[in-house]
Amino acid sequence: MSSSSSPPTSSRLRTSLAHATVAVDEFLHSFADDHPLQVSLRTYALALSLSLTPALVPFLTSAKSRTKLGGLNGVKKVLSRELGVTGFAFAITVAVGGGAALQHLLRTLHTDDDPRSDPTLLRSLKHKLRRWFAPLVNLSPVHQSFISNLISSLIAITLLQSRRRPSPQAPIPMTPPTPPPSNSYIPSSKRPSPTLDLTLLIFVRAMDTAVQSIVFKRTQNSHSSSPLKTISDASGKLTQIETHEAKEMRQKLTTKLDALFFWMSSARIMWCFFYQPERLPRSYVKWITTLADIDPRLLSTLRYLRSRTWSYTSGLAPPTDPYVFSSLSTSLGLPPSWGDPAVLPAFGGEAANEVWKRLGVEGRWGVGGAPCEIIHGGKDRKSCAGNAGRRGVKAFGEAFLIYLPVHILPTLLTRPSHLLSPHTLLRRLLSTLRSATFLSTFVSTIWFTICLTRTLFLPHLLSLLPPQFQISHDILDGPFGCILAGCLTCGSSIWIEEGRRRGEMMLYVLPRAVRTLLADGWVRSGKKGVVIAERLAFMLSLSTLLTSAIHHPDSLRGLSRWTLSFIMNGPNAGFWMRKRKQKDTGAPPSPLIPSDDTMRTSDS
């Protein structure tokens, strides 16, 4: 009996579920794309994907990771954390959707009452709300948007900072895996704010928006003074030429600024990587170490050299780790004496040649300091150019695997049919090769510049000076010698990247560079002033971005422009547009997203 009644019950359940789905779908599509409810749903969906994907990928890809993270209980903890009120998705939805809802309320209160459609109770409620929000109702739309977003952003950052933090991990040691120099800085065991990286990311994007606004105004003013202005009203063609010229001017100026800020940021980041890694995120330090293929003992020696506990001139080695450089030489199959500061010559000249003859070192005549074979990482790698080329090729292969999904995924997610076009596929492949070449050039440039400064060129040039003006390798191999030179030159590889990618690369590294400028002790102190400063930066920055997305979208570019356009205005293409046409709900459409060509021009 039960088996005979089961199919109808199952059928009714499926039918009810289908009707409920259609009802929800109809309800959602009855609102405009820029309605607060639609904005909140898109924000939550996007934010949840950004927070859950990195957290759940280890569970899905590796059994070892699943065991390390606690298996099923670990998954439950991740879901509980990310789906909770203090989770990233909910907090960001409060910031974006809450600001949109408050703006919608202010617009509603600003409209006059309609006795024919507004019930008495609703009119009474609107009058009360008008009195409460009177200072905001009479403001301009831009000011209303900024203040609304400011209030919702404050709630969001408060929620994010109130979430329970995981147990602190050990700080990055200054000289892994050996004890640090006695006079070097040892980072505090306290961890910085868990929202610091997010705050700096939003802060940098907001500053970029402000700079783009200034550049846009400058090009507009320059454009308005063009000789074609006198006849632009009489000829649409001339107006189009002027607009193109203005965009060209803006693109050139923006490209120069992007390259400048990338160069400054990369120089600061690489210098901190060598000498102050605690100022960088742990994952970032690990990634650079892997990509550059640097032995930790070489980094330790450089930091000892900076603290003057390891020295060519005095022959000193740190008492806590006297064989740090010698052990590196031994592990490479070289004599330990090649890494002994008491034996290595501090200056070039004939005295250095005598030492090299005694040690059996070839190809370093007239130059002091450690043999390049140790720096390169092997006895069979004597050529400085060969070392730089080998590391560049290795970095190219790794970079290609990194950049391939970066260039393919956007098209795969938005316009997958375009990948069937050989022209589009070839263009994406060439872009990937270009990005990989940029990163490999970045790596090889820093290595070759180091050798150029400490071996190939500068020591021979300095040897022309009188003996009393000779410079020791404590300086040439120190933080203001070859390392500084390498850090200052590697960023020039950004010119290999295409224009719009330069901007994204700059916006990627700049938050990390800003982080290195903050005093680590202050950031890790957890004092009330630190919390207040971060909340103010978060609120002002996010409010600037959200307000610009509504009132000044031309000041946004790259990922900021695409993301905020999607959140605020809707997809405006593909599935959602087709659904709306099919249903014909009458809901007003949102503004169209600029075409790919337009985005590419303006974003550059």
Q: pLDDT tens, 183-218?
A: 344 445 577 888 999 999 999 999 999 988 887 776
Residue at token pair 């203040």 = 147
Average pLDDT over residues 567-593: 49
Structure confidence at residue 420 (pLDDT): 80
- Confidence class for position 93, pLDDT limits 50, 70, 90: very high
pLDDT digits (tens, 9 = 90+) for 135-178: 777 888 999 999 999 999 999 999 999 876 554 444 444 443 34
Which pLDDT score, from 0 to 100, does residue 219 have? Answer: 66
Residues 309 and 542: their CA atoms lie apart, in Å, by 46
CA-angle at 219, arms to 204 and 141, nearest 5°: 60
**Residue 604 confidence (pLDDT) above 70:** no
Q: Is 570 left (phi over 0), alpha (psi -120 to 50) or beta?
A: left
Asked if 420 contacts 376 with a C-beta cutoff of 8 angstroms, the reply is no
- The pLDDT, as a whole number, for residue 96 is 96
Q: Please tell me the predicted confidence (pLDDT) of residue 182.
A: 38
Q: Which residue stretches of 415-498 are H helix?
A: 422-451, 458-462, 473-476, 482-490
Per-residue model confidence as pLDDT tens digits over 398-440: 999 999 988 888 777 667 777 788 888 899 999 999 999 999 9
Ramachandran bin of 362, using left for φ above 0, alpha for ψ from -120 to 50, beta for the remaining angles? beta
Note the pLDDT of residue 380.
58
Give 379 or 378, the one with higher predicted confidence. Answer: 378
Cα end-to-end distance, the chain, whole Å: 70
Picking from 538, 528, 537, 527, the residue whose alpha carbon sits closest to that of residue 190 is 527
Query: Rounded CA gap, 561 and 563, in Å?
Result: 6
pLDDT, average across residues 319-347: 94
* 578 confidence band (pLDDT: 50, 70, 90): very low
**pLDDT score for 217:** 74
Coil, strand, or helix at residue 238? Answer: helix
Confidence of residue 536 (pLDDT cuts 50, 70, 90): very high
CA atoms within 13 A on the CB side of 123: 9
489/504 Cα distance (integer angstroms): 20
Place of tokens 């009707």: 19
Give me the pLDDT at residue 55, please: 78
> Would you state the torsion angle of the CA atoms of residues 326, 327, 331, 334, taken in this order, to the nearest 10 degrees?
20
Share of the chain above pLDDT 90, in %: 48
Residue 602: predicted pLDDT: 38
Query: pLDDT digits over 451-469, tens only?
Result: 999 999 999 998 888 888 8
Work out the number of other CB atoms within 10 angstroms of the CB of residue 487. Answer: 22
Give the C-alpha separation, 536 to 21, whole Å. Answer: 42
Angle at Cα 90 formed by Cα 88 and Cα 94, nearest 5°?
115
Give 232's DSSP letter: G
Omega before 177 cis (within 30°)?
yes
CB 179 within 8 A of CB 321: yes
Which residue in this structure is represented by tokens 């704010």?
193
Inter-CA distances, 21 with 14, 16, 42, Å: 10, 9, 18
Confidence band, pLDDT 50/70/90 cuts, at residue 343? very high
Distance between CA atoms of residues 398 and 412, nearest Å: 22
Q: Which of 47-51, 240-244, 303-307, 548-552 has the lowest mean pLDDT?
A: 240-244
Contact status, residue 485 vs residue 457, Cβ threshold 8 Å: no
Using alpha carbons, list the distances in angstroms from residue 55 to 52, 80, 413, 523, 537: 5, 12, 21, 25, 27
Tell the residue number behind the tokens 């994204």, with chain if given: 504
Neighbour count for residue 274 (Cβ, 10 Å): 19
Quote the mean pLDDT of the chain: 81
pLDDT score of 415: 76
Q: How far apart are CA 330 and CA 289, in angstroms?
A: 21
pLDDT surpasses 80 at 8: no
pLDDT for 224 equals 54
Nearest to 313 by CA among 345, 355, 268: 345
- Environment class of residue 462 by beta-carbon count within 10 Å: exposed (0-12), middle (13-18) or buried (19+)? middle
Distance of CA 139 to the CA centre of its chain: 35
What's the CA gap between 416 and 540, in Å, rounded? 37
The CA–CA distances, whole Å, from 365 to 273, 353, 516, 556 equal: 31, 6, 39, 56
Contacts of residue 92, defined as CB under 8 A and 6 or more positions apart, other chains included, come to 43, 44, 47, 156
Token pair, residue 440, equals 């490999």
Residue 121 predicted with pLDDT over 70: no
For residue 25, pLDDT over 80 is answered with no
What's residue 189's pLDDT?
A: 53
Q: Find out whether 72 and 118 touch, Cβ atoms under 8 Å.
A: no
pLDDT tens digits, 456-506: 999 999 888 888 888 999 999 999 999 999 999 999 999 999 888 899 999
Which one, of 269, 320, 273, 266, lies nearest residue 298 by Cα? 273
3-state secondary structure of 358: helix
How many other CB atoms are there within 10 angstroms of residue 510's CB atom?
A: 25
Query: What is the rounded CA–CA span in Å between residue 329 and residue 82?
Result: 48
Looking at residue 106, its pLDDT comes to 86
- Reading the block at residue 68, the tokens are 């390390």
- The Cα angle at residue 577 between residues 573 and 579, in degrees rounded to 5: 145
pTM over 0.85: no
Cα separation, 146 vs 69, whole angstroms: 41
